[in-house]
Copies of this chain bind each other. A is one copy, B any other.
Amino acid sequence: MISRHIEKALGNSSAIREVCEYSAKLAKEIGDENVFDFSLGNPATKPPKAFDETITAVLQTTDSMKLHGYTDSEGMEEVREAIAKNLSERFGVAFEKQHICVTVGAGGALNVVLRTLLDIDDEVIIFAPYFGEYNHYIDNFYGKAVVVQPDLETFEPDMEDFEKKITERTKAVIVNSPNNPSGVVYKEGTLKAIAEILYKKQSQYGHDIYWISDEPYRELLYDGAVHHCPCKYYDNTFLGYSFSKSLSLPGERIGYVAVSPNMADVAHVALGVKNANRILGFVNAPSLMQLTVAKCLEEETDIEYYNTNRKILYEGLTKLGFTCVKPEGAFYLFLKSPIEDDVKFCKEAMKYHLMMVNGTSFECPGYVRLAYCISTDKVKRSLEQFAKLAKEFDL
């Protein structure tokens, strides 16, 4: 007798789970080296060496009561200071420690922001294609997800559709660039257009509408693509960040919420965020990781590793006749399914030991997601299998 909410979640989350379970089973049968599993967004690079050295040093030099003790629910003061300074220097926005709340990853950050904002039936706009967990996060607090369709040429949001979908009940929009699953990095013009529409609608409805920027892939950029901080274009903005991808620490659950210093009533909202972080049961972000990442804010993952995979895969697949928008960020590639039924296409690909996730689970049927955060050797060898798949579909 579990809640209707969780029953619904169980029903919806089977698509990716099915792929993973099949992939694991197949690996046992034919050997892991023969399964080309593009289904999971798990970093393929080790944490930077500086991270390993820092965590050891922190353990050796910090008093263990302080190191493992409760921190303020918004995080340690020195950690928030370091993050605020780093953000300000990078993006030219005047963040200070009181605008930062260290969180249990970006998943924690998004839930904390949504819990801070949402009353029952408040609407949250999300741009398809999107990370399927957004539905659950909004559902957790009985909000309503409202989906805006993409421009299928660029995989940026359809601005006309966006403007139409904003109603009196719209509380926030979640913007995810670099995007999971498309790998697209939104152009500055797109961000400005989003801001313009939001300002117009705020004024029309006479209340705040918030921009929630989900940006765990902020540093994973290729071909000279640039990540623009949305705080420069819009005041009512939250940044949700995670060190999962930039430092390859997804299991450690460490990230933060940054509240734009220009937000209306910023002190009160930041207090709300801090309280939401505590009462959702996160209490505080893991303390050892707080201290460690604060000393690694300038460290980078091995971007070239992902870039190599991206180029091999994009060039290989388009040469075979597949179509996709060229990804400039994250470690995903969003392929057009050669048949309308993307679920069926994924099943066919499994025959060739190619594991992908159907676009339907990202609210974008007709496409499939490939996570190329796997070994370069496998990416190379997968092309032979994709060639067989292309042949089956007469490409």
Contact = CB atoms under 8 A, between A and B. Distances in A.
Contacts of A174: none
A5 B47 CA distance: 38
Contacts of A168: none
Interface in A208-249: 208, 248-249
Given A46-B64, A47-B64, A253-B104, A280 B280 contact: yes
Contact of A67 (B105, B251, B289): B251
B208 A116 contact: no
B108 A281 contact: yes
A395 interface: no
Nearest to A286: B286
A257 B337 CA distance: 41
B10 A281 contact: no
Given A59-B55, A280-B280, A208 B1 contact: yes
B281 A110 contact: yes
A272 B11 CA distance: 11
B55 A6 contact: no
A252 interface: yes
A200 interface: no
Contact of A251 (B110, B278, B280, B286): B286
Contacts of A264: 1
A248 B104 contact: no
Contacts of A13: 275
A137 interface: yes
A102 to B, nearest CB: 11
A207 B289 contact: no
Interface stretch (A90-98, A117-125, A182-190, A360-368): A117-125
Nearest to A55: B59
A133 B115 CA distance: 16
Given A6-B275, A107-B283, 11 more contacts: A1-B208, A7-B272, A46-B64, A68-B252, A69-B248, A104-B281, A110-B281, A112-B281, A120-B142, A251-B288, A282-B282
A137 to B, nearest CB: 7
Interface string A38-80: 0010110011000010011001000011011111000000000
Interface in A8-60: 9-10, 13, 40, 42-43, 46-47, 52, 55-56, 59
A1 to B, nearest CB: 5
Nearest to A2: B272
A248 B47 contact: no
A342 to B, nearest CB: 23
**The 8 nearest A-B residue pairs measured at CB:** A251-B287, A111-B281, A107-B281, A136-B279, A2-B272, A108-B281, A1-B208, A6-B272
Contacts of A1: 117, 207-208, 264-265
